[in-house]
């Protein structure tokens, strides 16, 4: 399908909107920043550790020497495992707190869950597993199924430990291995450990005074209580809510998907909104078999790169009509590309920046006007309009979210003026000085993504490297890595996710890039007869300098309305941004850099440990 630039309104006052954006941002800024949230602790098992989807795992403790332990069985862990197996490394154990593989897709089984990045890009290894998603944005159940298929296909179920949480990981100089202790009293001694815990793994709760005083039912969206609501994963008939008054706190990407279904089944639904999401139409067509049959080998990687160009590059290097994804995620990039082509001459950086800004405002204005067209009550429609720049928050699409607010049993409560819900009481919530009595509170309040304290985010009590150096201390002033994947003083330990590497708008592409690279290093270390491998101090220092020297100023995020993308308003100013400290030249440039590093085949900047 050829994709043209979208039709967006340009009849707005840019300066007035800039001022409005600033006002909306300042209104929501909280002095406490990320510290406003309630961290879930081990004495709150229903919000984190207790698994509502699988029976508790009862087994004897495992004591074993192994080659590779992978912490986490979501896409990051599965991709690392897959590449290890492809590289001939057989002794791999995935340790996963859930009852199965899937990670975010295991835990998030809320009604309405769907991929909101196009499935053809997001679901990894489609060609290798000979799998074609059923539609553009598939249901969570289908993605969970794909995770399980990956586990089967690469033999990763063998040796996997489910229902198991890591308590500590300690480097032992004598054995040159990591001793991993778990909640099941396992003691694994691994030459290599890959951290694949993922940024979306630990739920967080909103910092609302009085949470513990509520006498009704409460749960987090990532631990859906189907026993209470009725229905089940993939069966969103929430018939037990017919006599229930339900509150949802949060209006991020998760809430966009659950609100329409709750609105359909609850006696009454009250949605407490601090900042609205930008919600576009969702074109969720079934996969066209003719199109699928026409795809040539290598199509997925090409599509992922194309998606990155339009969603990740500020000034896309391709012509607008080449945008293969052609949706809200790529719209601003596509429109910028169209404007650049129409100019018919080389544009200065100032001109490019001005075009980007105008197209950003125009797209968001289109979204705001769409809200007016759908939501009947003008006051509700106004409250649902996002006044911030595109990508300050996750772009969303849904055909059912905005219409849900036309239902008589659905109420939107705008809590932006008080920077959040004021209070929880025994019977419900207080917002804007008004009491809302409810039977159930559902927290769609997100995850510990930008927690400054990594111990809180990981839930692992100790990760101690050489000489007892804690990784949490080592990184207390910011990341220190080689290529974002290893750190001096932590032999054989590898990281995935948002650290100091390439940043893709599709996280699975990022995990695949990292999995391939880490598997190469491990396989190469084993081939050379060493026990393990470690980044040198010098290589690490050099990489940290490279990352920081290339980093652009982060004014864009500073000016964004608060959220996890910008450390609740701090921009990258905190020690850790939600997206780590990305390699500024871009995701595929980083991919080229590490591929060239591998091609030299000299493990430059790493020391083999006999």
**Residues found near ligand NDP in the complex (CB under 6 A):** 28, 114-117, 200, 206-208, 249-255, 272, 274-275, 394, 415, 420-421, 444-447, 562-564
Identify whether the C-beta of residue 96 lies closer than 8 Å to the C-beta of residue 113: no
Of the pair 28, 93, the CB lying nearest ligand NDP is at: 28
Region for residue 557 given its phi and psi (left: phi exceeds 0; alpha: psi -120 to 50; beta: otherwise): alpha
Minimum CB distance to ligand NDP, residue 394 (Å)? 4
Cα–chain center distance at 528: 36
When the beta carbons of 421 and 547 are compared against ligand NDP, the nearer one is 421
Distance CA 78, CA 147 (A): 8
306 contacts 318 by C-beta, under 8 angstroms:
yes
Q: Is 298 left (phi over 0), alpha (psi -120 to 50) or beta?
A: left
SS3 462: strand
CA 357 to mean position of chain CA atoms? 25
Smallest distance from ligand NDP to CB 40, Å: 14
Distances (CA, A) of 572 to 26, 559, 560: 17, 11, 11
- CB-CB contact of 124 with 514 (8 Å): no
Residue 235 backbone dihedrals phi, psi, to 5 degrees: -135, 80
Report, in Å, the least distance between residue 296 CB and ligand NDP: 27
Spatial distance between the Cα atoms of 59 and 527, rounded to a whole number of angstroms: 34
Give least dist CB 53 to ligand NDP, A: 17
Query: How crowded is residue 173: how many other Cβ atoms within 10 Å of its Cβ?
Result: 9
**Which CB sits closer to ligand NDP, 254 or 499?**
254
DSSP reduced 3-state for 378: helix
Contact 492, 190 (CB under 8 A): yes
Cα separations (Å) of 85 from 76, 155, 360?
14, 8, 43
Nearer to ligand NDP, 441 or 526 (CB): 441
Smallest distance from ligand NDP to CB 129, Å: 20
For residue 360, the minimal CB distance to ligand NDP (Å) is 18
CA nearest neighbour of 505 among 439, 588, 449: 588
Burial of 61 (0-12, 13-18, 19+ CB in 10 A): exposed
Q: Are strands 493-495 and 187-195 parallel, antiparallel or unpaired?
A: parallel
Could you count the other beta carbons within 10 Å of the beta carbon of residue 230? 17
Residue 116 C-beta: closest distance to ligand NDP, Å: 4
The answer to whether 434 and 272 are in contact (CB under 8 A) is no
Locus of tokens 């490279």 = 546
In the chain, count of helices (H) and strands (E)? 19, 21
Q: Give the distance from CA 436 to its chain's centroid.
A: 32
**Judged by CB, which is closer to ligand NDP: 255, or 526?**
255
Instruction: Dihedral sign for Cα 320, 324, 327, 332, please.
Output: negative
Comparing CB distances to ligand NDP, the nearer of 87 and 115 is 115
Which residue, 345 or 434, has its beta carbon nearer to ligand NDP? 434
The DSSP bridge partners found for residue 609 are 532
Query: Which residues partner with 135 through β-bridges?
Result: 286
Q: Is 308 helix (H, G, I), strand (E, B) or coil?
A: helix
């Amino acid at each position: 399908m050829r994709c043209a630039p979208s039709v967006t309104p340009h009849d707005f006052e840019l300066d007035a909107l800039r001022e409005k954006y600033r006002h909306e941002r300042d209104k929501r800024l909280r002095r406490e920043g990320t510290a406003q949230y309630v961290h879930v602790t081990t004495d709150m098992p229903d919000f984190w550790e207790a698994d509502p989807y699988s029976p508790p795992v009862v087994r004897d403790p495992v004591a074993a020497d192994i080659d590779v332990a992978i912490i986490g069985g979501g896409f990051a862990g599965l991709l690392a495992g897959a590449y290890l197996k492809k590289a001939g490394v057989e002794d791999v154990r995935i340790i996963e707190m859930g009852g199965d593989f899937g990670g975010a897709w295991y835990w998030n089984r809320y009604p309405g869950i769907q991929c909101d990045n196009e499935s053809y890009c997001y679901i990894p290894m489609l060609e290798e597993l000979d799998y074609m998603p059923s539609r553009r944005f598939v249901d969570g159940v289908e993605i969970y199924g794909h995770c399980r298929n990956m586990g089967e296909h690469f033999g990763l179920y063998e040796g996997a430990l489910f229902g198991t949480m890591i308590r500590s990981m300690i480097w032992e100089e004598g054995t040159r291995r990591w001793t991993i202790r778990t909640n099941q009293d396992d003691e694994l001694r691994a030459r290599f450990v890959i951290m694949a815990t993922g940024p979306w793994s630990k739920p967080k709760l909103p910092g609302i005074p009085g949470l513990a005083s509520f006498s009704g039912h409460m749960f987090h969206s990532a631990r859906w209580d189907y026993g209470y609501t009725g229905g089940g994963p993939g069966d969103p008939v929430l018939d037990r809510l017919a006599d229930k008054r339900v509150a949802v706190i949060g209006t991020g990407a998760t809430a966009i998907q659950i609100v329409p279904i709750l609105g359909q089944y609850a006696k009454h639904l009250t949605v407490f909104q601090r900042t609205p999401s930008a919600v576009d139409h969702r074109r969720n067509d079934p996969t066209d078999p003719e199109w699928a049959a026409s795809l040539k080998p290598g199509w997925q990687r090409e599509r992922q790169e194309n998606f990155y160009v339009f969603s990740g590059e500020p000034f896309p290097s391709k012509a607008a009509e080449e945008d293969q994804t052609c949706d809200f995620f790529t719209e601003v990039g596509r429109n910028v590309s169209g404007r650049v082509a129409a100019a018919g001459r080389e544009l200065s950086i100032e001109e490019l920046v001005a075009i980007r800004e105008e197209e950003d405002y125009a797209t968001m204005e289109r979204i705001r006007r769409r809200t007016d067209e759908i939501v009947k009550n003008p006051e509700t429609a106004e409250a649902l309009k996002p006044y911030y720049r595109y990508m300050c928050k996750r772009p969303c699409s849904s055909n059912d979210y905005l219409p849900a607010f036309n239902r008589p049993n659905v109420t939107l409560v705008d809590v932006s003026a008080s920077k959040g819900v004021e209070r929880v009481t025994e019977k419900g919530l207080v917002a804007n000085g008004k009491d809302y009595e409810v039977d159930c509170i559902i927290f769609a309040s997100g995850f510990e993504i930008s927690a400054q304290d990594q111990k809180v985010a990981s839930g692992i009590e100790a990760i101690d490297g050489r000489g007892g150096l804690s990784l949490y201390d080592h990184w207390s002033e910011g990341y220190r890595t080689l290529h974002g994947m290893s750190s001096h003083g932590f032999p054989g330990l590898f990281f995935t996710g948002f650290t100091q590497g390439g940043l893709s708008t599709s996280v699975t592409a990022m995990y695949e890039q990292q999995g391939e690279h880490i598997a190469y290093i491990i396989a190469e270390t084993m081939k050379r007869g060493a026990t393990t491998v470690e980044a040198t101090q010098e290589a690490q220092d050099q990489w940290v300098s490279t990352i920081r020297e290339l980093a652009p100023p982060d004014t864009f995020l500073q000016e964004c309305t608060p959220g996890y993308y910008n450390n609740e308003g701090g921009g990258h100013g905190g020690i850790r941004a939600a997206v780590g400290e990305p390699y500024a030249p871009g995701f595929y440039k980083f991919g080229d850099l590490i591929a060239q590093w591998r091609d030299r085949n000299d493990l430059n900047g790493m020391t083999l440990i006999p």
